[in-house]
Amino acid sequence: MRWVNRRIGRGQALLLGGLPLALVVLGYVVAAAARHAENPADKILPLPGAMASAMAALLFEPDPLSGELLFWADTLASLSRLGIGLGIATLSALLAGLMLGALPPVRAFFSPLVTAIAVIPPIALLPILFIIFGLGETAKVALIVVGITPFMLRDLAGHISALPREQMVKALTLGASSWQLLLRVALPQALPRLIEELRLSLGPAWVFLISAEAIAADVGLGYRIFLVRRYLAMDVIIPYVGWIALLAVAMDFVLSRTSRLAFGWAHKARR
């Protein structure tokens, strides 16, 4: 049977998909063991035991200063920033993307501006962001929003404007106004694509969150990573990164499930 036709069952897929991940972990352990054989105090590739004990302190021992369990405090802070950032980005991408995609005059007016914002690296203009948003939570959320919205917006606008022209004509003959067309034709077909974009944006969103937390923060997963990077505490960094990956994969899974449940029509068409 040709490879393009091989269908993979759920169980098989889990097994197959787990394999490379397991290999990576194995490769890491081997490399770490090799380094430790050379230098038992090596910090670059800590052994799993060292990571476990380093993490145990963050997980279970309250911080003497704040009395908090640092790991959980970090997670909570980062997730809430990420959540707010993603929420604002998604909402504004949806609104603006619909308008830009469906209304040519709006597109003509805004698309050069949007392109410009999309290609300006926000981290290069941090001082200006600080002036506008200060240094608190707003600035961190703003960096996420500024970082991922342009991509989502442009992709969504492209998706909307690529909807078959017949659909638009059809809606107009059914008496739709521009507003109604946005609401009943463009919006519902934008939503599954929006979820797809959100999934693709999770990686960049974490990058911007971590950058923001590296710049000025006193709690958060990115804060901890950059703080302990000062003394190369890879035994904390690696578990933290793994945890971030786990959180992101979980979000990815939830989003893809949601899309299948809520927008079945979009997935049936592709069987």
Partner 1 sequence: ALALAAAMAVAGCSDAKSPAEPRTEFNIGWSIYAGWMPWPYAEQAGIVKKWADKYGLTIKFVQVNDYVESVNQYTAGKLDGVTVANMDALTIPAAGGKDTSVIILGDYSNGNDAVLLKGGSDVAAIKGRKVNLVELSVSHYLLARALETNGMKLADVKTVNTADADIASAFTSPAVTAAVAWNPQLTAMKGVPGTTAVFTSADIPGEILDLLVVDTATLKANPNLGKALAGIWYETMALMARQDAQGQDARAAMAKLAGTTPKEFESQLSTTFLYTDPKAAVAAMASPELVTTMKRVRDFSFAQGLFGQGARSADAVGMAFPGGKTLGDKNAITLRFDPTFMQLAADGKL
Partner 2 sequence: MLRLSNVWVEYGEKVVLERISLDIAEGAFVSVIGPSGAGKSSLLRVILGQDQPSRGRITLDGRPLPAECGPDRGVVFQRYSVFPHLNALGNTMLGLELAGAPFTARLFGSARRAARAQAEEMLAAVGLADSLHLYPSEMSGGMQQRLAIAQALIMRPRILLLDEPFGALDPGIRADMHVLITRLWREFGLTIVMVTHDIKEAFALGTRVITLDKRRHDPHAPQRYGAGVIYDIALTRKTASDEQANESTSITID
Torsion of CA 223, 225, 228, 230, to 10 degrees: -90
Place of tokens 């990164």: 241
Instruction: Classify burial at 137, counting beta carbons within 10 Å of its beta carbon; exposed 0-12, middle 13-18, buried 19 or more.
Output: middle
Residue 221 near residue 74, CB atoms below 8 Å? yes
Among 13, 14, 15, 34, binds partner 1 (CB under 8 A): 34
Is 106 a binding residue for partner 1 by CB under 8 A? The answer is no
| Closest CB to a copy of itself among residues 120, 135 | 120
Among 47, 88, 95, 126, binds partner 1 (CB under 8 A): 126
| Closest CB to partner 1 among residues 57, 262 | 57
Helix, coil or strand: residue 110: helix
| Closest CB to a copy of itself among residues 65, 119 | 119
The amino acid at residue 29 is V
| Closest CB to partner 2 among residues 170, 229 | 170
* Number of neighbouring beta carbons within 10 Å of residue 3: 5
Q: From the list partner 2, a copy of itself, partner 1, none, pick the one residue 30 interacts with, judged by a Cβ distance below 5 to 8 Å according to partner type.
A: partner 1
Binding mask 65-94 for partner 1 (x = CB under 8 A): x-----------------------------
Number of residues that bind partner 2 (CB under 8 A): 30
Residue 212 near residue 143, CB atoms below 8 Å? yes
DSSP state of 63: P
Interacting residues with a copy of itself between 119 and 158 (CB under 8 A): 119-128, 131, 147, 150-151, 154-155, 158
Q: From the list partner 2, a copy of itself, partner 1, none, pick the one residue 174 interacts with, judged by a Cβ distance below 5 to 8 Å according to partner type.
A: partner 2
Is 229 a binding residue for partner 1 by CB under 8 A? The answer is yes
Binding mask 155-194 for partner 2 (x = CB under 8 A): ---------xxxx-xxxxxxxxx-xx--xxx--xx-----
Residues facing residue 69 across a β-bridge: 62
Residue 140 near residue 209, CB atoms below 8 Å? yes
The Cα–Cα gap between 249 and 244 comes to: 8
Residues facing residue 62 across a β-bridge: 69
Is 240 a binding residue for a copy of itself by CB under 8 A? The answer is yes
Helix, coil or strand: residue 7: coil
Instruction: Single out the segment in contact with a copy of itself by CB under 8 A; choices: 48-56, 62-70, 86-94, 205-213.
Output: 205-213
* Number of neighbouring beta carbons within 10 Å of residue 173: 8
CB-based contacts of 99, cutoff 8 Å, min separation 6: 106, 110, 182
| Closest CB to partner 1 among residues 170, 229 | 229
Footprint of partner 1 on this chain (CB under 8 A)?
Answer: 20, 23-24, 26-28, 30-31, 34-35, 38-45, 50, 53-54, 57, 63-65, 113, 117, 126-128, 130-132, 134-136, 213-218, 223-224, 226-233, 235
